[in-house]
Each structure stands twice: as structure tokens, then as C-alpha cells.
């Protein structure tokens, strides 16, 4: 086959997942800096209210990450040492790590090979007397089959904690993701569809759980403790639970407020890029993202391709062409900690492994120009042709 020769299409490197941040977001951050109120304050409350209204859910609690949201959702759900929580191995480490952090055991079940999402039938078969919750992951922004998962939860009295790090803006049978399970956790990390730099959100319709998440997210302080330094005068706080430092800052929330106002526009751009990729990469020997049924709206977070072989060499060649890519994900069951701690073997989850060995995520951001997209397409076509 010989050595791959660089095409040299780009002079500058195309960063994977570059955030679409403009002058309005910058102005909002500057406003926070000038106001002197940088940490949790009024902008966080406004952002929470906007998300709650958009998703049609009673409570939305802003935090510093989706990881924090998953952790606090498990705590609010009463998951404790010795319990079991069913989830997928085809996800970011945080999904399973937080289960370990509360002393519970992550129980992996395989995914559907086409969608990459958890297989509800396998999840039901994995339930034991110790099972207390299921964490479905809306991988790439494609909703899981929530009717089946909710039915399982009701039948076996399990909490459903949705990992929607990829899925802000997705819908399932007319319902926004964020309004279906007991808890839904979103990420607003720098690569996500809606960006606050770092940040996350938990949505729920459970008033008591929402209050617990708010308290645990700010050291366990009494509700509304962030107001103690406001112009209403100093107020003492009390520690009611042993909490964490998980709060979102007003600086971040200000970005979120602007991003939420632009969200529909940004999604239209992502959709246009998605359609171009589907059209212009359709004749290559790769597997493209599958279509979704009419009752779903895909969040269009990650455009992933599955290659037949030489995945790492393809990623390296694209890098040399100035095209950043991602791998979502190396299945958790093959990582050293989960393999050694829980005894998982490489072939335990064949569908997750199949995707894990072949997946490449292409650049997808509303910031991409038409020329950027053309460069990605040209590089992928050239590199795939060489390694096929």
C-alpha cells in the first residue's frame, strides 16, 4: 500500500467540535465581569427558568457539568452502596464513574448495533434484586427507545436517569428529551450543541429531588444560599446535607442564555452540514449514521462514521490533513479499570465492541463554513479511498 501522501487542502487546523461563540456571548460574559457577580447568581436562575420552559419540565438545576448532574441524580434517587445501576458501556467514562462514586455497581448491557443505544430487552434481562436504576445514554443525540425503558422502570420500580449529554434539542414522540425520565442530565461543554464552556443541567418533575440537587450542588447549604451576599443584605446559611462544589457560575449561565436564544438557528446549520455529509459521503465503503423514525428528533450532536479497518491510521491521516476528529467511544468494558475491577472481557458486549473498534466522529459545529465542510469531505474521501 505504501506511505499515505498528504493532500494539503488546509493551511489551518480544523478543530473538532469548535464552539459557535460570537459577540453576543462575549458581551454577556463581559457584563458579568463588570457587574462583579461572577459566581452563582441571577443569571443562573434565568438560565434555569429558560431551560425549564423550553423543555416543559417543572425544575431545571444548573451545575458545573453533566457529570455532576449524574452524580447528584443518583444521590437524589437514593442509590447507595451495594446497589446496581444498569447502563451501556458505549459512553463516556463519567456515566459509569458516578455509579462507582456512590458505591453502587455499574452493570453494563450491550447496545443495538445500528443505533449504538442501550438495548432495552437486554437491560430488562440484567435486572436483579439489587438493581435500583437504569441510565440510558442518548448516544450522538439520537433518543433511546424511551417507552420501553420507562415501562421497565415502572414494572420493576427503577429510577430512570437519562444521560442526555449529547441530546439537548432531541425529542421522542413529541416530548423533549429532558421531560420523560425521573432525571435527565445535560452537558454544555465546549463541544456540545449549546455551550457554556463547562456546565450542565439536571431536569426533573420531582420537587424534593430538585431541592436536594440544588443543595448538594452547593456544599449542602440551605436553599438559595447564593443570595446571602446580594443587595438584600447578608444572611446566614446552614449546612443541611454533605454537599459538593458543583454550582454553575453566572459567567457560564450568561453564555447559556445567549446560546439558548440562538439554539434553533444553530441547529438549522448543523442540519445543513449533516445533510451534506450524508449526500457527499454516501458512496464510500463506510457506514453512515442511520436515519431516525418519524417519532424522534435527533439532536445532531455527533456525525459518526464506521470504517471497515485501519481506523487509527485513518484518524492519523485526517489529522495530518488538518482535520480534527473524535472517537466516541472506546467501550468502557475494555478500559483497564472496568476490566480489572468488574472482570469484563473484550467480547462480552459484541455490538458495543463492533462500534468501538470502527467509529470516527467528523467535525460538526454550526461554526463550520461551507469551505470547512468541503475540506472535510475531500479529506475523508481521499483517506478512505486510500485505506479501503
Identify which of 194, 172, 210, 192 has the alpha carbon closest to the alpha carbon of residue 293: 172
Considering the candidates 43, 61, 105, 192, report the single residue annotated as catalytic.
Answer: 192
| Residue indicated by cell numbers 440537587 | 213
| 50 phi/psi in degrees, rounded to 5 | -65, -40
Q: Which of 156, 157, 160 is nearest to 138 (CA)?
A: 160
Rounded-to-integer distance, Cα 377 and Cα 274, Å: 11
Task: Return the C-alpha cell found at 307.
Answer: 470504517
Instruction: Measure CA of the first residue to CA of the last residue in the chain; give whole Å.
Output: 10
Measure Cα distances from 37 to 27, 33, 201, 355, 360 in Å. 15, 7, 20, 45, 41
Query: What SS3 class is residue 325?
Result: coil
Q: Quote the cell numbers at residue 167.
A: 441530546
367 is a catalytic site residue: no
Cα 37 versus chain centre, distance: 28
C-alpha cell at 49: 427558568
All three cell numbers of 138: 442518548
> Which residues carry out catalysis?
192
Amino acid at each position: 500500500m505504501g506511505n499515505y501522501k498528504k493532500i494539503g487542502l488546509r493551511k489551518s487546523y480544523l478543530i473538532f467540535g469548535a464552539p459557535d461563540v460570537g459577540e453576543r456571548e462575549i458581551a454577556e460574559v463581559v457584563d458579568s465581569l463588570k457587574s462583579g457577580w461572577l459566581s452563582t447568581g441571577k443569571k443562573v436562575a434565568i438560565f434555569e427558568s429558560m431551560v425549564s420552559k423550553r423543555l416543559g419540565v417543572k425544575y431545571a438545576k444548573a451545575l458545573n457539568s453533566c457529570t455532576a448532574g449524574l452524580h447528584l441524580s443518583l444521590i437524589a434517587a437514593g442509590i447507595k452502596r451495594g446497589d446496581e445501576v444498569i447502563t451501556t458501556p458505549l459512553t463516556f467514562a463519567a456515566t459509569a464513574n458516578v455509579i462507582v462514586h456512590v458505591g453502587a455497581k455499574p452493570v453494563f448491557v450491550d447496545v443495538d448495533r445500528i443505533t449504538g443505544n442501550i438495548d432495552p430487552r437486554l437491560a430488562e434481562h440484567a435486572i436483579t434484586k439489587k438493581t435500583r436504576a437504569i441510565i440510558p445514554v442518548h448516544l450522538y443525540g439520537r433518543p433511546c427507545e424511551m417507552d420501553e425503558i420507562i415501562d421497565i422502570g415502572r414494572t420493576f420500580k427503577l429510577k430512570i436517569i437519562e444521560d442526555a449529554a449529547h441530546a439537548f434539542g432531541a425529542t421522542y414522540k413529541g416530548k423533549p428529551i429532558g421531560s420523560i425520565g425521573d432525571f435527565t442530565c445535560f452537558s454544555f461543554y465546549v463541544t456540545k450543541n449549546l455551550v457554556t464552556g463547562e456546565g450542565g443541567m439536571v431536569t426533573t418533575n420531582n420537587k424534593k429531588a430538585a431541592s436536594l440537587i440544588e443543595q448538594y450542588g452547593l456544599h449542602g447549604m440551605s436553599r438559595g444560599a447564593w443570595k446571602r451576599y446580594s443587595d438584600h443584605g447578608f444572611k446566614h446559611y446552614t449546612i443541611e446535607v454533605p454537599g459538593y462544589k458543583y454550582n454553575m457560575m453566572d459567567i457560564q449561565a450568561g453564555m447559556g442564555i445567549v446560546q439558548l436564544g440562538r439554539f434553533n438557528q444553530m441547529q438549522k446549520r448543523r442540519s445543513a452540514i449533516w445533510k451534506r455529509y450524508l449526500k457527499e459521503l454516501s458512496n464510500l465503503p463506510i457506514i453512515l449514521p442511520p436515519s431516525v423514525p418519524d417519532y424522534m428528533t435527533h439532536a445532531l450532536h455527533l456525525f459518526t462514521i464506521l470504517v471497515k479497518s485501519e481506523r487509527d491510521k485513518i484518524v492519523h491521516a485526517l489529522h495530518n490533513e488538518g482535520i480534527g476528529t473524535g472517537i466516541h467511544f472506546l467501550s468502557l468494558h475494555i478500559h483497564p479499570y472496568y476490566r480489572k475491577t468488574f472482570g469484563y472481557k473484550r467480547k462480552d458486549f459484541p455490538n458495543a465492541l463492533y462500534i468501538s473498534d470502527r467509529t470516527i466522529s467528523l467535525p460538526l459545529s454550526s461554526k463550520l463554513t461551507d469551505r470547512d465542510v468541503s475540506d472535510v469531505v475531500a479529506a475523508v474521501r481521499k483517506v478512505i479511498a486510500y485505506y479501503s
